[in-house]
Structure 1
């Protein structure tokens, strides 16, 4: 295994340090480097905090900045941040209006964020939004429900914009919970993930195979299928997504095609074109689009498709100015 790293043990910490130094005009380390936070915190607003294991960059640290997250906590590769890291982020960013924690639906993330809330609740007003946009976990009967995958970006963007405009904590909580029912994602991979600590891939595929319904920690999907043309792959993903989300006539949507780490932009745009044609044939109005590598699984060659059904007000939140390392528009 060849990777640009010194040791597997120091890879995540050295990568995060490089990120902070590269974007030091608007992010800084928190105390003892337990979190990455906005350099200029905005007083009088709810603090929006998220986090997870390393290996998903630019999520979550790439979304810290004006109009999105106030802080993000990074664990080791594919390992949840510790309660101590989460408490540090809460302590550093709460300006008196409380904190909203955005948590992906994985056992380790849920457990550690809950422990942090228990320890910090006496000093801070805290609410949590659980992101659970993945379709496949719910179908294979793993018992813990849907995973939080690329739809996490959508929720962080909308709630970050709403908080920046002064929305109070309880209203942010209601908005986030409502969004979770209208965002669905599904992914496909052409190879497994090369994990630095183990120096081997999480699953192996033959030259003519693909894995459908994968997660973002190198988990295999619900089925191994023959590799086929891109349009057929995208059609299968989109058909499953549309069949799993409550559609209304004239629905307005955000369509997000996300690279998982090893897929070039040309292939992502090709997939977006096929996905958009699919959605428009079914009467879904694509009002906003996002294409790129934002929620990764290290070096996985694959992609995911996310459909988010949004109201006019939520589309305005999507358009609200954002200044982060990974998302930036005015």
Structure 2
């Protein structure tokens, strides 16, 4: 295995230090380097805090900044941050309006964020939005029920804009929960993930196979399928995603094609083009688009497709100003 690193044990800490130094106009380390927060916190605003294991960059640290997250807590590769990290972020970022935790539905993340919220309940008002956008409702060894994957970005962006405008904690909680049934994602992989600690791929495919329904921790997907051309793969994914979305409210959708870390941008745009064509053929209106490598699984060769059905207010919030390392408009 060849990777640009010194040791597997120090890889995450050195990467986070590099991130903060590269974007020091936007972010700083929190106390004890336990988390990364906005350099300039906004008094009186509900603090949005998220996090998860390393290996998904630029999520979540790349989404810290004006119009999105106030802090992100990072664990070891594919491991949840500790309750201590999350508590430190809450203590540092709560400016009096409370904190909203945005948590991907993985068992470790859910357990540690819930534990942190309980431990600070006497001092801070905390609510939680759980992200369950993965199409596979059967869960995996890491989760019960649908996992939180690339759709997390959409929820963090919309809630971040609302918080920046002054929405209170109850409004943000209701807005996040209301998105649950209208954001769906599905991933596909051509190659598994090489984890630095083990120096092994998490799963190995034959030359003529692809893995459908993968998560973002290198875990195998729902099933293996024969390799096919891009149109065939994307048509299968698009059909499954759209079938799982509500039948009403399809007049305005956000289409997000995300790379897992080892997929060229040219292939992502090809996938976007195919998916948009299939969606429009069945009458879905694509009102907003995002294409790029944002929610990764280390070096996995693959991509995910996310479709979110948004109302006019949610589209307005998506369009709202954002200034982070990974999203900026």
3-state SS of paired residue (1:138): coil
**CA contact 1:249–1:283 (8 Å) conserved in 2:** no
**CA contact 1:186–1:237 (8 Å) conserved in 2:** yes
- Once the two structures are superposed, residues 167-211 of structure 1 have per-residue CA deviations (whole angstroms, 9 ceiling, x without a partner) of 000010000000111100000000000000111000001111100
Question: Residues 135-150 of structure 1 correspond to what in structure 2 (within 5 A)?
Answer: 135-138=135-138, 144-150=144-150
Q: Give the corresponding residue for 1:162.
A: 162
Q: Give the corresponding residue for 1:292.
A: 292
Normalising by structure 1, what TM-score? 0.98
3-state SS of paired residue (2:5): coil
**CA contact 1:45–1:163 (8 Å) conserved in 2:** yes
Q: How many residues align?
A: 329
Q: CA deviation at 1:229?
A: 0.2
* 2-structure distance, mates of 1:48, 1:37: 10
The answer for unaligned runs of 5 or more in structure 1 is none
**CA contact 1:104–1:147 (8 Å) conserved in 2:** yes
Q: Give the corresponding residue for 1:171.
A: 171
3-state SS of paired residue (2:179): helix
Q: CA deviation at 1:249?
A: 5.8
3-state SS of paired residue (1:136): coil
Runs of 4 or more, structure 1, over 2 Å off, are 137-143
The answer for unaligned runs of 5 or more in structure 2 is none
**CA contact 1:211–1:224 (8 Å) conserved in 2:** yes
Q: Give the corresponding residue for 1:190.
A: 190
3-state SS of paired residue (2:236): helix
* 1-structure distance, mates of 2:213, 2:249: 27
Q: CA deviation at 1:248?
A: 1.6
3-state SS of paired residue (2:187): strand
Normalising by structure 2, what TM-score? 0.98
Question: Residues 242-321 of structure 1 correspond to what in structure 2 (within 5 A)?
Answer: 242-248=242-248, 250-321=250-321
* 2-structure distance, mates of 1:253, 1:24: 34
Question: Residues 16-27 of structure 1 correspond to what in structure 2 (within 5 A)?
Answer: 16-27=16-27
- RMSD over aligned CA atoms reads 1.2
- Once the two structures are superposed, residues 262-285 of structure 1 have per-residue CA deviations (whole angstroms, 9 ceiling, x without a partner) of 000000000000000011111111
* 1-structure distance, mates of 2:103, 2:245: 21
Q: Give the corresponding residue for 1:73.
A: 73
Q: Give the corresponding residue for 2:328.
A: 328
* 2-structure distance, mates of 1:321, 1:157: 10
Q: CA deviation at 1:247?
A: 2.1
* 1-structure distance, mates of 2:142, 2:27: 38
Q: Give the corresponding residue for 1:231.
A: 231
**CA contact 2:249–2:309 (8 Å) conserved in 1:** no
